[in-house]
Amino acid sequence: MSTSHATVHHDHHDGHHAHHEDHHHEPGFWRKYVFSTDHKMISKQFLITAVFMGIVAMMLSIFFRLQLAWPGKSFPFLEYFLGKWAPGGVLDPNMYLALVTIHGTIMVFFVLTGGLSGTFSNLLIPLQIGARDMASGFLNMLSFWFFLVSSLLMFYSLFLETGPASAGWTIYPPLSALEEAIPGSGIGMTMWLVSMALFVVGSLLGSLNYIVTVVNLRTKGMTMTRLPLTIWAFLVTAILGVLSFPVLFSAVLLLIFDRSFGTSFYLSDIYISGQALEQTGGSPILFQHLFWFLGHPEVYIVLLPALGITSEVIATMSRKPIFGYRAMIGSILAIGFLSFIVWGHHMFITGMNPFLGSVFVFTTLLIAIPSAVKAFNYITTLWKGNAVFSPAMLFAVGLVSTFVTGGVTGIILADSALDINVHDTYFVVAHFHIVMGASAIFGMFCGVYHWFPRLYGRMMNNKLGYIHFWFTFVGVFGVFFPMHFVGLAGAPRRYYAYDAFPMFDSLKDINVVITSFAIMSALAQGIFLFNFFYSMFRGKKASQNPWRSNTLEWSAPVEHLHGNWPGALPEVHRWPYDYSKPDKEEDFVPQTVPLAAGEEAH
């Protein structure tokens, strides 16, 4: 469709660049590793940043899990890390809230949005659609730099004198607007807001680029119905981001006004620290509407790329076409559309009109249908397959399990009458950690193991991958499943301790079990980190197409080169899922292979 367009400045590639050093304009260190405009390098930059942020967020979660399992017990290493925020090794209640807040913020935005979309959209969009690079390499570089600066600001906010933002990752005002209400709402909150504003800018630059690239730069023969499901997922994710992140930006901007310039968008009739504030007429509910208008699509911004990645990996590794390719595209589109009209289910008991609540019950429960279609299609793809259990495949199967296990409790929470009693309890924490947190992070691990050879030209160690997977998988169930019971006991989330209420005395055991599993899973991530960095330098050299896959990225040379393919761009003749096609000798037929005489296209 648009090959000529893309090749204009790359047609000096003539196929003789087998050796990297022959390349006559090899960019210098800064251009290559730092201010790179090459999508493969930017992808790696996103990944490394996300890995770093992920380690930080995971450590924070261990800190507060220790407090929850053994409240008031002294852990000297807490004091080592947190200093005055853990005097005598006991976590400070304000810091507890700060840890919870920053853990959530980093995981949702920096690891699972920036990290997941940023890494894999960048790596796979040009390679899988047969393009030389993103539509705009420069904007792509800017997108990463905004992301990096916002990550660093968020990280730096942990070291502020008055602590980082601590009003919960949803930063509901007035708590987030008033420094008098909680110390974290001082400079910590300002930094959170600035960081998120930059994050939104980066995310928009990235998303616009992804959309334009997918729409305009597909190679010859790559029709929309020949796109791998990964690309469909990234495309819809980018559209969701473009439509919803500006709304978060406006919510953040109005909050900045309320905090710094005395406006009253969200504030009304407040009396705090011995004085009545002037602000009147605003509504905290307005913020919640704006926040969740992003917040709910955000769930799918996190999930869809993971689902796209698993679709690709399950089909490839089962040596079987993905079942119901068009239904999978349809369900991605349906989920994307519905995600915009369900935000009110976060607000059933905020004082929103109950009739409006009813509407959101209806739209929310509808999402279960395309989600069920996806789950059943994955399972049917496994049926009578020939599954090769690479670590990526294990994580893909794990995702299907967590997606279903966490998804079904959504049926409870979407039912407004039932939400009354479990709203903001651990039941909710259990639900979204399994369905969104675990599934998305499994999708991310799946992608890293599967495309590591494309990223670094080497293989990751399988055995370590297996150990990592099984400990993580057991850990996810061990940590989050018991939380349902904590919620059913009526235990609210974001509580520093439960000993003020005799009714929660029976939860002590459960909290110890949860924390123990959390520590085990955290240690298991050490195995991954070791494998990741070790393999980057010392791993076995990857072959051209180690997973015997059909998609275009495996037709490019292992050595990265600017422009991806030496010589002409590959041409596409078939859909990406011709695995184990009858009458073919091999159990895979790459997209570049023309249809044989009389062969039926899918």
Partner 1 sequence: MTYFIILIIGLGIYAFAQLANVVQLSSSLKGAPEEEVTDKDNRFNARMMMGMLIFILGFFVWQIKEYSHTILPESASEHGVEIDTLWDFNMWIVILVFVVVNMVLFFFASKYYFKKGNRATFFAHSTKLELIWTIIPAIFLSVIIIYGLKVWTDITGPVESKNGVIIELYAKQFDWTARYAGKDNKLGATNYKLITDENPLALDKNDPASSDDILTKGEFHLPVGKEAYFSFRSRDVIHSAYMPHFRAQMNCVPGMETQFHFKPTITTAEMRKKLNNEKFDYVLLCNKICGASHFNMQMSIIVETEAEYKAWLAKQKEFASKDTPAAPAAPADTTKPKMALK
Q: Are 154 and 202 a contacting pair, CB within 8 Å?
A: no
- Within 10 Å of residue 446's Cβ, how many Cβ atoms? 29
Is 457 a binder of partner 1 (CB under 8 A)?
A: no
* Beta carbon of residue 76, minimum distance to partner 1 (angstroms, whole number): 18
Task: Number of residues interacting with partner 1: please give it, by CB under 8 A.
Answer: 139
The least distance separating partner 1 from the CB of residue 162, rounded to whole angstroms, comes to 13
Rule CB under 8 A: say whether 566 interacts with partner 1: no
Does 501 participate in binding partner 1 (rule CB under 8 A)? Answer: yes
355-384: contacts with partner 1 (CB under 8 A): 357-358, 361-362, 365-366, 368-369, 372-373, 375-380, 382-384
CA distance 429 to 424: 8
Task: Respond yes or no on whether the N-terminal peptide bond of residue 297 is cis (omega within 30° of 0).
Answer: no
Compare residues 172 and 340 and give the one whose CB is closer to partner 1.
172
Nearest to 335 by CA among 437, 233, 224, 441: 233
| Among 3, 409, 549, 592, interactor with partner 1 by CB under 8 A | 409
Q: How far apart are CA 527 and CA 462, in angstroms?
A: 12
Indicate whether 502 belongs to the interface with partner 1 (CB under 8 A): yes
- Specify the residue, 263 or 380, whose C-beta has the smaller distance to partner 1: 380
Nearest to 202 by CA among 133, 122, 151, 142: 142
Nearer to partner 1, 368 or 561 (CB): 368
- Contacts (CB under 8 A) with partner 1, residues 524-563: 524, 526-527, 530, 534, 540, 546
Cα distance between residue 124 and residue 443, in whole Å: 14
**Could you tell me which of 153, 174, 172, 175 has the C-alpha nearest to residue 164?**
153
Residues 191-220 that bind partner 1 (CB under 8 A): none
Taking CB under 8 A as the criterion, the residue among 351, 533, 559, 595 binding partner 1 is 351
Stretch of 21-29, 250-258, 420-428, 554-562 contacting partner 1, by CB under 8 A: 420-428
Please give the Cα distance from 82 to 80 (Å, whole number).
6
At closest approach, how far in Å is the CB of 575 from partner 1?
Answer: 9
Residue 237 touching partner 1 (CB under 8 A)? no
Q: In the 8-state DSSP scheme, what is residue 276?
A: E
Distance (Å, rounded) from C-alpha 325 to C-alpha 225?
9
Nearer to partner 1, 48 or 181 (CB): 181
Minimum gap (Å) between residue 99 Cβ and partner 1: 13
Q: Which is nearer to partner 1, 212 or 352 (CB)?
A: 352
Report if residue 490 touches partner 1, rule: CB under 8 A: yes
Helix 137-156 crosses helix 116-129 at what angle (to 10 degrees)? 170
Distance CA 191, CA 532 (A): 31
Q: Is 284 in the site for partner 1 (CB under 8 A)?
A: yes
**CA–CA gap between residue 96 and residue 101 (Å, rounded):** 9
The correct pick among 118, 137, 321, 590 for binding partner 1 (CB under 8 A) is 321
In contact, 72 and 87? CB cutoff 8 Å = no
333 binds partner 1 (CB under 8 A): no
